[in-house]
Amino acid sequence: MKIIEHLDRAKNKELLCSYEIVPPPRGRSVQDIIDIVEAVQPYNPPWIDVTSHAAGAFYNEKSDGSIEKKVYKKRPGTIGICGIIQNRFNIDTCVHLLSLGFTKEETEDALIELNFLGIHNVLALRGDAPNYNKKVDKNRHTNKYAIDLVSQISEIRRGEFLHDITGARPLDFCTGVAGYPEKHFEAPSMKFDIQMLKAKVDAGADYITTQMFFDNEKYFSFVNECRAAGITVPIIPGIKIIKNINQLASIPKHFYIDFPDEFVEEIMENKDHVKEIGIEWALKQCKGLVDFGAPCLHFYIMNDTKSVIEVVKHFK
């Protein structure tokens, strides 16, 4: 089932709680993912997002002193993991597709493969810039921005492929995009950022999932500004539960968000109880979001289910 269908069916009924997981590092077992899905399965997840990661490069000094470059994916297997979850657990999945690090041809191949697997939900993202410049053959093309990726997916939804394919049929995907309640760090202003978000919706996006935030007022303001700009699709809030004090530094650094003063002060005064404080803060956030009318609560698990379940069980 498409995510937009889950949202439509749930209106004025059971609260939806979806989850986002990260593929295990290269060399680890898919059992890591299976354990996570088994932990959240009793709480009836409508869908699970699985992140995607472009290839990176590292340099290795050989025994003869020469330097070689190796290209590899730290976290491979996104499509395979989605296939396992959806077909083994009967839980819909949403694949994260990136524009950076992938060609249009690779994107089209991925969408065709997803259709074969019965997976019809994708989140279109620009992604982080790879740490090396991937050489693209002159006969291939790239999507520079997320809006370009959304446009390509919309074309495939209309049956328009990169090359004429005899007997090709439209592939009907539900497309999500990312929103930033605290503004994308590269956008010059919130107004400009929302204009770019509306362009993605106009290009074919069906819903928005937000970056994590810890101050509900920022989400409320973001939703209101989006509606004023003419964005009518569902806007799903992203929730992250803090579990250790180091995250007070690492999360703002990597995700460009701020923590509320009250939250930081409470943690600094009770450093031995960060996990409990994180759960209580997230629970308070979730209750406020439900009262506001959020269409779903989307939890960034990052492969740690215990704190998330402590919050979700209050709503199930």
For residue 282, CA distances in Å to 5, 162, 234, 256, 269 come to 27, 44, 21, 19, 18
* Residues 78 and 49 sit within 8 Å (Cβ to Cβ): no
C-alpha span between 183 and 226 (Å, rounded)? 12
Mean pLDDT of all residues in the chain?
Answer: 89
- What are 60-76's pLDDT values in tens digits? 444 554 334 454 455 56
**Range 2-14 average pLDDT:** 90
- Model confidence at 133: pLDDT above 90: no
pLDDT at 164: 76
Beta bridge partners of residue 59, listed in sequence order: 69
Question: Above 80 in pLDDT, residue 27?
Answer: no
Q: Per-residue pLDDT averaged across 216-225, rounded?
A: 98
The domain in which residue 239 lies consists of 3-312
The region of weakest confidence among 30-44, 45-59, 78-92 is 45-59
pLDDT of residue 101: 78
Res. 190: pLDDT tops 90: yes
In this prediction, residue 48 has a pLDDT band, given cuts at 50, 70 and 90, of very high
Give CA–CA dist 303/33, Å, rounded. Answer: 8
pLDDT interval class at 315 (50, 70, 90): confident
**What percentage of the chain's residues is helix, strand, coil (to nearest 5)?**
40, 20, 40
DSSP state of 61: E
Taking the model in full, what pTM does it have? 0.90
pLDDT of residue 52: 86
Q: How much of the chain, in percent, has pLDDT values that exceed 70?
A: 88
Give the pLDDT confidence score for residue 67 in this predicted structure. 38
Looking at residue 37, its pLDDT comes to 96
**Which run of H or E residues covers position 239?**
strand 235-239
> What CATH number does the domain containing 237 carry?
3.20.20.220
17 compared with 54, residue with greater pLDDT: 17
Task: Please tell me the predicted confidence (pLDDT) of residue 131.
Answer: 43
> What span, in angstroms and rounded, lies between the C-alpha atoms of 136 and 115?
25
- CA 240 to CA 301: how far, in whole Å? 7
- What's the pLDDT at 138? 61
Q: Alpha carbon of 281 to those of 208, 237, 259, 260: distances in Å?
A: 23, 15, 11, 11
Three-class DSSP category at 184: coil
What confidence score (pLDDT) does residue 118 get? 95
pLDDT for position 11: 80
Average pLDDT of 232-258?
A: 94
For 60, residues 6+ apart whose C-beta sits below 8 A from its C-beta are 67, 68, 69, 70
Q: Quickly state the pLDDT bin for 273 (edges 50, 70, 90).
A: very high
pLDDT at site 12: 73
Range among 136-145, 208-217, 303-312 with highest mean pLDDT value: 208-217
Domain count, the chain: 1
